[in-house]
């Protein structure tokens, strides 16, 4: 954890992670931004995580396209400029709409998001995922699935 300011320029960032069809660029790690983790996520139409929950707050800011969110059973189509806040423990899921989409993700204290995304990138090969393998990686990284 750092108390120093930092700047994240595109040319200084690591390569995007491939997380089951979603491209995730890590913008800030907890070592850089204390209790926050910030990512830029983009995906093709129809991609996105299954219903899940975790012990950290998460907020999304849609920057491009439409992202279909389901939070606690309520479905909402979210266009650019929409902020979605998901409190810890809330069952949620999303899918990118027609033409794909992009959004910023901000996570709070106790987040294991970057750790999870890194594990998924390393352990799940491209192509149709093995659901049991994905569920195992999620579970090891503090995420409960609600399939």
Helix (H, G, I), strand (E, B) or coil at 33: helix
pTM of the model: 0.93
Q: Identify the pLDDT of residue 100.
A: 97
Computed over every residue of the chain, the mean pLDDT equals: 93
Q: What residues does each domain of the chain span? A: 10-145
Alpha-carbon distance values, 108 to 11, 34, 55, 116, 133 (Å): 26, 9, 10, 14, 26
Q: Identify the pLDDT of residue 3.
A: 74
pLDDT tens-digit readout, 33-74: 888 999 999 999 999 999 999 999 999 999 999 999 999 999
Q: Which CATH superfamily is domain 10-145 in?
A: Jelly Rolls (2.60.120.10)
């Amino acid at each position: 954890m750092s108390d120093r300011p930092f700047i994240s320029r595109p040319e200084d960032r690591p390569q995007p992670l491939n997380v089951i069809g979603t491209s995730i660029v890590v913008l800030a790690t907890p070592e850089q931004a204390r209790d926050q983790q910030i990512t830029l996520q983009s995906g093709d139409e129809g991609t996105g995580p299954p219903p899940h929950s975790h012990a950290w707050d998460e907020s999304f800011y849609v920057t491009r396209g439409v992202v279909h969110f389901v939070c606690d059973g309520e479905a909402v189509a979210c266009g650019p400029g929409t902020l979605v806040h998901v409190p810890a423990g809330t069952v949620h899921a999303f899918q990118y709409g027609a033409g794909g989409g992009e959004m910023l993700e901000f996570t709070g204290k106790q987040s294991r998001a970057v750790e999870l995304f890194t594990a998924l990138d390393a352990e799940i090969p491209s192509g149709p995922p093995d659901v049991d393998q994905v569920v195992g990686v999620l579970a090891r990284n503090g995420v409960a699935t609600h399939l």
